[in-house]
Amino acid sequence: MAALDPEEFPVLTGHLAAILPAMVDHEVYFGGLRQLIHAADPTRTDKDHDHTGLEPTHEAE
């Protein structure tokens, strides 16, 4: 958003304070980071994790 030319995109660049909070979801970033960390764990086994790289939830089936 910061790289947009205000003359070409006046609606977007003129209202950054209103637009950016809706576009920035920190949980998406942190969730992806957690997945990368789990995937890089050398002690990890496939039976301990699902395809997302996250710990299994062990919910009742």
pLDDT tens for 13-42 read 787 777 777 666 778 778 888 899 888 888
Q: What percent of the chain has pLDDT over 90?
A: 0
Residues 6+ positions from 14 with CB-CB distance below 8 Å: 6
Q: Which amino acid, one-letter code, is at 51?
A: H
Assessment of whether the complete model's pTM goes beyond 0.75: no
Residues 6+ positions from 15 with CB-CB distance below 8 Å: none
How confident is the model at residue 61, as a pLDDT?
Answer: 46
- Distance in angstroms (rounded) separating the CA atoms of residues 23 and 9: 17
User: Would the pLDDT of 60 be above 60?
Assistant: no
Query: What's the N-to-C CA distance of the chain in angstroms?
Result: 44
Q: For the chain, what is the mean pLDDT?
A: 73
